[in-house]
Each structure stands twice: as C-alpha cells, then as structure tokens.
Amino acid sequence: MLSKRIIPCLDVKDGRTVKGVNFVDLRDAGDPVELAAQYAQQGADELVFLDITATHERRKTMIEMVKSVARQLNIPFTIGGGITEIADAEALLNAGADKISINSAAVRNPKLIEDLAKTFGVQFVVLAVDTKYVNGKNMVHLNGGRLITELETENWIKQAEDLGAGEILLTSMDHDGTKAGFDCGLLSKVNQMINIPIIASGGAGSMAHFTEVFQKANVDAALAASVFHYGEILIPDLKQELKRNHIPVRI
Amino acid sequence: MHNNINDKNSKSPSGDLGVGIVNYGAGNIFSLTAALDRLNVTYGMVNTENDLEKYSHIIIPGVGHAGAAMEKLKGTGLVEAIKKLTKPVLGICVGMQLITEHSEEGDAALLNIVPVKTKKFDKSLHIKIPHMGWNAVNPKNNSLFEGVEDNTQFYFVHSYFIEYNPTFDIASADYGLKFSAAVQKDNFYGVQFHPEKSGKAGELVLKNFSNLSL
C-alpha cells in the first residue's frame, strides 16, 4: 500500500535555511545540506525547499544549494520559489531536484503548467496554491496571502490538473501559523475533485492534526515547517502515532 | 555538467571501469551519479558502442515518456549493441520499461528484451495517477535484493507500469493491482522505483547491482 508522506518544508534565503531550527546536534542550523540529511535520517519521506530570496544572484546560489543537497540526500525533494520559465525549471532539474513547485507564475501564466508538464513530465510539476476564505468563497491568494486574485481555489486547482499539474500543494492561509489543525473540510473537498496527489499544508500543531488530516481528508501527504524545525514534533514519533492509527507510513 | 566523469577512471583496464550509464538524454542523472558517488561505485558515461565494452555493468536510466525515450535511444545507434550485452544491465524507471516489449505510452515498440508489456494505470481502479511516493515491495529471492526485507518501501514516480508476469518478476508491488516493481531475464534487470531516491534500501539495491557477477 502506498504510504502517506510526511514532508518538512524549509525556507531558504541566499542558499541558507532561515527560521529558527533547533536540532540540538546540528553544527550549523543554517546549512540546508546538513538539515536535509538530518530530516532524511529521521524518516522524512520528502523535503520541500522554498526559496524566499529576491535578488538577481538568486538563481546561481540556489542551483549550487540544490546540487549540494542532491549529492547528499537519498530521498526526493522539491524546489519552489521564483520559477517563472522553462529555463529556471531545467536548471533545477539538472541540479538534481525531483520536482519544482510553482505558484504565482502559474496564476499569471497558466500555460506555464502545460509547458512544464510537456517538457519534463507531469510528475515534475507541483502547483502550490495559497487559499483564504473570503465572503463565502475559497479564493486563491498570492504573496503569502496578502494579494487576493479573482480565482476560486477549487476552479483553479481543477484547471491546473487539466493543464498537467502532477501534484497540488494546498496551503490554507486561514490555518497557517495557527497550530489549530489543517483545513480538513477544504482539503477533503478538493481531494475528491482531482485525481492527482495532494499535499496538505497550514495549521499543523500536534500529532493528532496529522492523524486527522489523513483520516478526514485522505490527503496523500502532509507538510509542516515550525513544528518540525522547533522539535515540537519528532518525525519518528509522528510516524509511530500514525501507524497506531492505522495510517500507512514508511517507518 | 558531467565533463568530469568521463575520464574519472580512464586508467583502469578494459571492461573494469565499474558502471556505465547509457547517456541518451532521457532525463536527469545527477541524482543517480550522486548515489553512486556516495556508494564509492565508479562510473562513466556510455555514448558509443566502444564505451559499452569499457564497463563491467551498464545502467539505462530514464524519466518521462517511454515512446520518446525509445526514439532517443534509437538515435544513439546503441540499440542492437545493448540487446547483445551479456554483462549485468539495469534499467531504472523508464529505463526498465525500455527493456520490455511494448508501452501503451505512445503505443511504442521497445527493446523486447523481457517479453512483458508496459501498461497505463487505470483511473477506474480508484487510484491517483501518477503513482507517486513510497510503496512496499516484495522481493523474491534474487541477488539484486540481497539483504532487502519483505515489504521494504521504495520511492516510485510513474504513470505506466509493467504487467506482473511470474516468470520475469523478481519483486512485486501493489497499486490498484499487482505489478512488477522489478524484473529479470538473464543478465537484464529492471526496477520501476528510483533506487537513488529510496533511502538506504535503494542504495543497497544499487550496491547489489554493482556487485553482481554472472
């Protein structure tokens, strides 16, 4: 049986991981390679690196980081942030990234999804969607939830699947940072609409939240950042807890 | 980007250069070479028929569309030479599909080294496509899986699968139906999962392959 995946998400700036990470035995908490290796050893099934750098030097630094990660890491990883054209994606693929995640560039130019899927295969293309509930509707947002678009979340995801997205990373901005649990209602609704894998994101605060999102929304994977980085949830413990709840995981 | 690889071990004797990776432009091989580096397995690129002779083991990688990959492989002029190989050969993912008879992807005739077919996963089995993530594999008693326990999980990413055939299957997995996660016929092996992305278990399979002697 296919396992449900647990995915730590790392923010990267200028080739360094940011946000407090407090693994006690880490020599350099800002080193993405060391951090990635640590998560892989703990049993993470996959990693997502989100590049939040906004300089022109970004691409070069990021490519070097991706290569370093790929040399060391024996599990798959996704790179997101600032990918706007085929050349960006190709450079990341050649540096060893397994998937790329696109967000605002796809909203501005939906054909990018199609072009990426045709060039590299659907398995390479993750569509990240930030959603917020506004006036009774789920609306796609950009810039970390600050900018609303005209797109309804459900319609956009369906359109992206038709265009060739291979996976959906759905972040609820209403739940993100609350540590009050994932948005199981919306995740379940979207999951029933599509036939590609979906990653739940936003709201993880306890191990019970992971159990809940797999049981209630039957998502394929769950992503979190701070609960892992701050050591509030240890991946081996989480996997055991999920197993006790009869959720298929890789131990 | 792999220009450092070709002459890495050029002083070794003929046929003993380690693993030769067939370089036909179907997908990225950075992760594969990185895994071989971690395992201290020497490797180089196979571009010509002569290159096939240099290495004791051959890997056919591959990502993407099987039909398109077959066209690219034909473009190298290596098809007949690959079919005649008697040293251990390992196809990975689409590289595994290439050694089968036919793929529904692009209705493509393939190398037909292992007489089984590559088929598309059927949505009506209530499964998501692509099959993406970690799934349990049940290996038979085979040198490629030496030391790998039953139900060990490997990382898969594919929309097409190789039909289960007990004659050639050496490891099966389930996704809506039972399919071959690995096949073997004589010196030709194929794995549908990505050993280079499958943690320690994947590294063990790669190591086992590099140690195979026929």
Q: Under an 8 A CB cutoff, do B128 and A196 touch?
A: yes
Which of A58-67, A178-187, B123-132 is predicted most confidently?
A178-187
Helix (H, G, I), strand (E, B) or coil at B55: coil
pLDDT in tens, A196-249: 999 999 999 999 999 999 999 999 999 999 899 888 999 999 999 999 999 999
Could you give the CA distance from residue A10 to residue A16 in angstroms, rounded to a whole number? 10
pLDDT of residue B44: 96
Q: How confident is the model at residue A19 (pLDDT cuts 50, 70, 90)?
A: low
Instruction: Give the model's pLDDT for residue B8.
Output: 43
Q: Which residue has the higher pLDDT, B42 or A29?
A: B42
Going by pLDDT thresholds of 50, 70 and 90, the confidence category of residue A195 is: very high
Residues B167/B160, Cβ–Cβ less than 8 Å: no
Distance CA B102, CA B52 (A): 24
Distance (Å, rounded) from C-alpha B18 to C-alpha B9?
9
pLDDT at A144: 78
Range name among B8-12, B31-35, B132-136, B159-163 with the lowest pLDDT average? B8-12
- Pairs of residues, one from chain A and one from chain B, whose beta carbons lie less than 8 Å apart: 88
Mapped onto helix, strand or coil, the DSSP state of residue A204 is coil
Mean pLDDT of the B78-100 span: 97
d(Cα A4, Cα A250) in Å, to the nearest integer?
8
Contact residues for B36 (Cβ-Cβ < 8 A; gap 6+): B19, B42, B43, B206, B210
**Does residue B138 register a pLDDT over 80?**
yes
Q: What pLDDT, on the 0 to 100 scale, is given for residue B4?
A: 42
CB contact under 8 A, A166 and B136: no
- pLDDT, tens only, A52-77: 875 656 777 889 999 999 999 999 99
Which pLDDT score, from 0 to 100, does residue A55 have? 60
Q: Does B160 touch chain A (CB under 8 A)?
A: no
Are A3 and A43 contacting, i.e. CB atoms less than 8 angstroms apart? no
B176 touches chain A (CB under 8 A): no
What's the token pair of residue B143? Answer: 């040198």
- Count other C-beta atoms under 10 Å from residue A19's C-beta: 16
CA distance B81 to B111: 11
Q: What is the predicted pLDDT for the residue at B191?
A: 98
For each of the domains in chain A, give its residue range(s) and CATH number, in order of start.
5-244 (3.20.20.70)
Joined together, the tokens standing for residue B103 give 């793929």
pLDDT band at residue B79 under the 50/70/90 scheme: very high
- The pLDDT-based confidence of A25 (bands split at 50, 70, 90) is low
The neighbour count for residue B6, using CB atoms within 10 Å, is 13
Whether chain A has a CB inside 8 Å of the CB on B30: the answer is yes
Element (H, E) at A132: strand A125-134
> In the prediction, which pLDDT does B6 show?
44
B21 alpha carbon, distance to own chain's centre: 10
The domains found in chain B, sorted by start residue, are 19-211 (3.40.50.880)
- Return mean pLDDT, chain B: 91
Least confident of B61-65, B146-150, B199-203: B61-65
Res. A20: pLDDT tops 90: no
pLDDT at res. B63: 83
Q: What is the pLDDT of residue B10?
A: 42
CB spacing of A74 vs B135 below 8 angstroms: no
Query: Alpha carbon of A148 to those of A57, A101, A152, A153: distances in Å?
Result: 29, 20, 10, 11
Q: Within an 8 Å CB–CB cutoff, is residue B48 touching chain A?
A: no
Q: Which of B123, B151, B178, B176 is nearest to A249 (CA)?
A: B151
Residues of A with catalytic roles: 11, 130
Instruction: Count Cα neighbours of B178 within 13 Å in the Cβ-side half-sphere.
Output: 9
Least confident piece of the model among A29-33, A80-84, A180-184, B156-160: A29-33
Q: Residue B98 contacts by C-beta under 8 Å, 6 or more apart in sequence?
A: B60, B62, B66, B69, B70, B73, B91, B110, B111
**Beta carbons of A1 and A248 less than 8 angstroms apart:** yes
Cβ atoms within 10 Å, residue A192: 10
Kindly list the residues from chain B whose CB atom is less than 8 angstroms away from the CB atom of residue A117: none
What per-residue confidence (pLDDT) applies to B37? 96
Helices and strands of chain B, counted as H and E runs: 6, 13
Known catalytic residues of B are 93, 194, 196
**pLDDT per residue over A81-127, tens digit each?**
889 999 999 999 999 999 999 999 999 999 999 999 998 889 999 99
- Give how far B113 is from chain A: nearest CA, Å: 25
Look at B109 and A19; give whichever has higher pLDDT.
Answer: B109
At A27 the pLDDT is 54
Strands (E), A161-229: 167-172, 198-201, 221-224
Question: What pLDDT sits at residue A61?
Answer: 82
DSSP for A16-71, written as a single string? EE-S----TT-S-TT-HHHHHHHHHHHT-S-EEEEE---STTHHHHHHHHHHHHHH
Contact B47, B81 (CB under 8 A): no
Task: Report whether pLDDT(A26) > 60.
Answer: no
Cross-chain Cβ contact A121/B155 below 8 Å? no
pLDDT, average across residues A131-142: 96
Cβ–Cβ below 8 Å for B130 and A250: no
Residue B119 in this model has a pLDDT that exceeds 50 = yes
Given this model, what pLDDT does residue A18 score? Answer: 78
Chain A: residue whose CA lies nearest to B37 = A71
pLDDT at B96 over 80: yes
Percent of chain B clearing pLDDT 70 (strictly above): 93
